[in-house]
Amino acid sequence: MKNIKIETIDDYIAAQPIEKRASLEKIRSIIQKAAPKATELISYGMPAFKQEGILVYFAAFKNHYGFFPTASPIVIFKKELLPYKTSKGAIQFPADKPLPTKLIQAIVKLRIIQNKEKALNKKSKK
């Protein structure tokens, strides 16, 4: 991704090795279906979706796809995430395995609810 200005998710995907592009498009599609009102953006150099705040980020790496839903979904979906490497705010989906569509959708839907609750709490404090 040298010397390419990444401004959109399309730019990001186009800048990736060809063997990564289909899975990145699939992740994007899964998120779009789970969050049809969300908008796409590039943040911290990664594709992201925003709806009342950032929902999730994702990115391609050498041997995995990173999925960054913040910390709480990783705790909430701890059991479902046992097959995957996780850290405080990140999940690694191995590049050589199918993407867990239903799990990604469930995490995105949870993030929509969390962001909505956070936005309502901010409004009620004003």
Tell me the per-residue pLDDT of 82-92, one tens digit each, with 9 for 90 and over. Answer: 999 999 999 99
Task: Identify which has the larger pLDDT, 1 or 72.
Answer: 72
Spell out the domains of the chain, with CATH numbers in brackets: 9-112 (3.90.1150.200)
Mean pLDDT of all residues in the chain?
94
Q: What is the pLDDT of residue 1?
A: 44
**Burial code of 69-106, b = ≥16 C-beta within 10 A, e = fewer?**
bbeebbeebeeebeebebeeebbbbeeeeeebeebbeb
Angle at CA of residue 77, ends 70 and 49, nearest 5°: 35
107-116: per-residue pLDDT in tens? 999 999 999 9
0.75 cut: is pTM over it? yes
Task: Identify which has the larger pLDDT, 105 or 125.
Answer: 105
